[in-house]
């Protein structure tokens, strides 16, 4: 491919794919690397790196482990050291990233034949099948996550954040065209799982309900065939696609399901087994839309209760929960009104009181571990106050990229058209595209027509959501932005502030918030020092206000948050 063909533009940045490939090929675990742009689903373009691993005995990990702290300007920052010291064997040699995978695989069976692709650790059992058992497949998936962390960490030493691939996919060999060139089109267009797992391993639908859901899964994810045990998130699903998924399910089954049902089972088989129960619960007055949602069960350690931003949807917290580890209990608190029927809360004090009642159904007494992204941090702050007034302890408040509340509502003089235009700009940012919406044309329509226009525009750009979902989104976002919360009498609490390294594209609401918080940001703690018990722990993490919560950036956020949770 020519040099120009190897250049792409993602979120406004011009990227040379060959530069990323060259950096990957310098890594001792990599034999060959090809980077492509995958696109076509809501959420925009994403960089994916396909890796054929090299046989190697020694290397230095560039992963970091957070070990100590230093204080500057009233803020405590973590110092780091190379984790390579902890990866040394007893002989003093460094262990390759895939060593544990190979050892685990070889304990199950003897590898025979000439397998030069060490990252597989397994000899193909037959044909193109890389995995002779489900156990081998699960071992491979664990290895893939370990390799991804190692490569991301190494690339961050050489490249800016926007050039770090979202996916690192080990494959046994690269595909080639008939004239001997790497077949980048196949890599870019085939479903990731299709490049790794043979179709014979798919479990086909057994019932009409499973068949309907599998068809919806495939349409939303852009995958030809979906097995009933394939996980929505592992197949590339994310919060935007989940909205489309639920819109299609609503069309098929006649009921709007909460997005949170995916946390209770994200496979076709699991949802098919529960969908009638969920629909019956909606019909008999039960509340599947209750605020408290279990995202990860974990073990007996202290749960982390996390609140989303102004949109009120918790699904995007999935990656943070996953990367905190399977043993960490994680709950999200979703906004009232996502069902499109109830009115959203309009006061943070009332919202906090409601959420406290919810969390005390699973943890009756403190100490509590709270966190929030953006607007959610303000609600978490008020929850910390009310809990302490009840005599309960709060061991830490984790704040994700927001200042203290500035006590000024956003958009008080806006028309409905202004809010819809702002939502359109935010949606375009999340989709990675520019939605061409005309202010003049929109203002000539009534409110229903304006919503219909935006609904159609989103559908044309690949984001299928129902009108009720869109109406709920606008109502909740507007209500949260217009809260004029001023914290009062906050008892001191330990606080960690995680700032996004990059600036997000500015929307109208974002511009107002930036103006209101400009003076506050002159303080390195963004105002949180006045409520903190001791210095505020301040960290800068990769990504912008939105992408810090998604791969690959969320891995760094989770690693730093894990440090505090482990030391409670």
217 and 301 housed in the same domain: no
Give the separation between CA 123 and CA 113, rounded to whole angstroms. 7
Which residues does 232 contact at the CB level (< 8 Å), separation at least 6? Answer: 217, 221, 242, 245, 262, 266, 267
Indicate if 440 and 520 belong to the same structural domain.
yes
Beta pairing, strands 495-500 & 536-541 = parallel
* pLDDT attached to residue 139: 61
Identify the CATH number of the domain in which residue 142 sits: 3.30.300.30
* Residue 84 lies inside a defined structural domain of this protein: no
- The Cα–Cα gap between 533 and 346 comes to 29
Give the per-residue pLDDT at 262: 84
Same domain, 250 and 280: yes
What's the CATH number where 554 sits? 3.40.50.1820
229, 253, 288 — which closes off a domain? 288
pLDDT at 166: 76
Report in angstroms the alpha-carbon separations of 428 from 36, 224, 236, 263, 329. Answer: 22, 27, 20, 26, 33
CA distance linking residue 101 with residue 97, whole number of Å: 8
Q: What tokens does 388 get?
A: 């302490």
The answer to whether residue 310 is domain-embedded is yes
340 and 191, same structural domain? no
- Both 434 and 554 in one domain: the answer is yes
Cα separation, 479 vs 312, whole angstroms:
10
Question: How many domains is the chain partitioned into structurally?
Answer: 3
Residue 388 confidence (pLDDT)? 97
- Residue 70 belongs to a domain: no
44-94 tens-digit pLDDT: 577 889 988 875 333 333 222 223 334 444 443 333 333 333 333 333 232
How large is the angle between the packed helices 416-431 and 467-481, nearest 10 degrees?
A: 110
Supply the pTM of this predicted model.
Answer: 0.72
pLDDT recorded at residue 109: 34
Q: Are residues 284 and 295 in the same domain?
A: no
The answer to whether residue 238 is domain-embedded is yes
Q: Which pLDDT does position 42 carry in this prediction?
A: 53
- Does residue 96 lie in a domain region? no
The dihedral formed by the CA atoms of 354, 262, 245 and 312, expressed in degrees to the nearest 10: 20
Q: Are residues 221 and 294 in the same domain?
A: no
Same domain, 173 and 30: yes
Report pLDDT digits (tens) over 204-233: 888 988 999 988 888 887 777 788 888 888
**350: Cα separation from own chain's centroid:** 28
pLDDT of residue 145: 67
Catalogue the E-assigned strands of 242-380. 292-296, 304-307, 330-333, 368-373
Is residue 240, in this structure, part of any structural domain at all?
Answer: yes
Domain identity same for 550 and 449: yes
Q: Which domain holds residue 243?
A: 197-288
Assigned domain for 182 exists: yes
Does residue 543 share a domain with residue 432? yes
Q: Tell me how far apart the alpha carbons of residues 16 and 36 are, in angstroms, rounded to a whole number.
A: 11
Residue 12 is encoded by which pair of tokens? 């406004």
Grouping H, G, I as helix, E, B as strand and the rest as coil, residue 455 is: helix
CA distance linking residue 497 with residue 105, whole number of Å: 41
Q: Which of 149, 166, 195 is the last residue of a domain?
A: 195
191 and 206 inside one domain: no
Report pLDDT for 461: 76
CA 12 distance to own-chain centroid = 21
Which of the listed residues 232, 255, 288 is the one where a domain comes to its end?
A: 288
Q: Are residues 456 and 541 in the same domain?
A: yes
d(CA 439, CA 415): 12
pLDDT of residue 201: 57
444 in a structural domain: yes
Which tokens is 97 given? 């990233």
Could you give the 3-state DSSP secondary structure of residue 406?
Answer: coil
pLDDT at 122: 28
- Taking only the tens of pLDDT, the chain with its 568 residues reads 334 457 777 655 678 899 999 999 999 889 999 999 876 555 557 788 998 887 533 333 322 222 333 444 444 333 333 333 333 333 323 233 343 434 444 443 333 233 333 343 322 333 334 444 555 555 655 666 677 778 888 888 888 777 888 778 888 788 888 888 888 888 887 666 545 545 545 688 889 889 999 888 888 877 777 888 888 887 777 777 888 888 888 888 887 788 788 887 888 988 888 887 777 766 555 566 789 999 999 888 999 999 999 999 998 999 899 899 989 999 999 999 888 788 999 999 999 999 999 999 999 998 999 999 999 999 999 999 999 999 999 999 999 999 999 989 999 999 888 898 888 888 877 776 777 787 888 888 888 898 998 888 888 877 778 888 888 899 999 999 999 999 999 999 999 999 999 887 678 898 899 899 999 999 999 999 999 999 999 999 998 898 899 877 898 999 999 998 988 7
């Amino acid at each position: 491919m020519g040099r120009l063909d190897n250049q792409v533009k993602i979120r406004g940045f011009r990227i040379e794919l060959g530069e990323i490939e060259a950096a990957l090929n310098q890594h001792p675990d990599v034999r060959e690397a090809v980077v492509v742009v995958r696109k076509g689903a809501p959420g925009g373009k994403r960089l994916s790196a396909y890796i054929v691993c090299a046989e190697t005995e020694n290397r230095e990990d560039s992963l970091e482990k957070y070990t100590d702290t230093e204080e500057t300007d009233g803020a405590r920052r973590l110092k780091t050291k190379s984790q390579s010291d902890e990866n040394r064997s007893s002989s003093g040699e460094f262990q390759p990233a895939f060593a544990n995978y190979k050892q685990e695989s070889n304990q199950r069976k003897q590898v025979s034949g000439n397998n030069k692709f060490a990252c597989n650790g397994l000899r193909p059992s037959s044909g193109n099948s890389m995995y002779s058992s489900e156990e081998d497949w699960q071992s491979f998936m664990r290895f893939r996550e370990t390799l991804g962390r190692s490569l991301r960490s190494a690339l961050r030493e050489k490249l800016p954040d926007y050039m770090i691939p979202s996916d690192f996919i080990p494959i046994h060999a690269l595909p080639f065209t008939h004239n001997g060139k790497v077949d980048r089109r196949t890599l870019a267009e085939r479903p990731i799982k299709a490049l790794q797992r043979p179709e014979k391993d798919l479990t086909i639908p057994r019932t009409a309900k499973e068949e309907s859901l599998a068809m919806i899964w495939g349409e939303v994810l852009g995958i030809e065939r979906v097995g009933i045990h394939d996980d929505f998130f592992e197949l590339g699903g994310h919060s935007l696609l989940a909205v489309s998924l639920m819109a299609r399910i609503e069309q098929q089954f006649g009921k709007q399901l909460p997005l949170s049902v995916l946390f209770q089972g994200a496979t076709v088989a699991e949802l098919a087994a529960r969908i009638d129960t969920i629909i019956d619960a909606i019909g008999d007055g039960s509340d599947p839309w209750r605020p408290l949602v279990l995202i990860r069960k974990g073990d007996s350690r202290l749960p982390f209760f996390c609140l989303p931003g102004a949109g009120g949807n918790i699904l995007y917290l999935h990656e943070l929960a996953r990367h905190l580890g399977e043993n960490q209990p994680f709950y999200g608190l979703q906004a009232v009104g996502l069902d499109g029927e109830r009115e959203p809360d309009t006061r943070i004090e009332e919202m906090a009181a409601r959420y406290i009642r919810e969390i005390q159904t699973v943890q009756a007494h403190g100490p509590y571990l709270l966190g929030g992204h953006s607007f959610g941090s303000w609600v978490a702050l008020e929850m910390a106050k009310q809990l302490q007034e009840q005599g309960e302890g709060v061991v830490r408040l984790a704040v994700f990229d927001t200042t203290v509340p500035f006590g000024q509502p956003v958009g008080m003089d806006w028309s409905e058209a202004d809010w819809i235009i702002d939502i359109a700009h935010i949606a375009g940012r999340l989709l990675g595209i520019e939605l061409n919406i005309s202010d003049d044309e929109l203002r000539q329509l009534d409110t229903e027509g304006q919503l219909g226009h935006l609904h159609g525009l989103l559908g044309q750009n690949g984001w299928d959501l129902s009108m009720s979902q869109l109406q709920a989104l606008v109502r909740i976002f507007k209500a949260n932005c217009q809260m004029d919360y001023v914290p009062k009498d906050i008892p001191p609490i330990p606080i960690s502030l995680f700032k996004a390294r990059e600036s997000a594209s500015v929307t109208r609401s974002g511009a107002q918030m930036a103006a209101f918080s400009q003076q506050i940001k002159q303080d390195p703690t963004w105002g949180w020092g006045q409520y903190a018990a001791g210095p505020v722990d301040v960290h800068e993490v990769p990504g912008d206000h939105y992408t810090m919560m998604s791969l690959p950036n969320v891995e760094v956020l989770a690693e730093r948050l894990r440090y505090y949770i482990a030391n409670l």
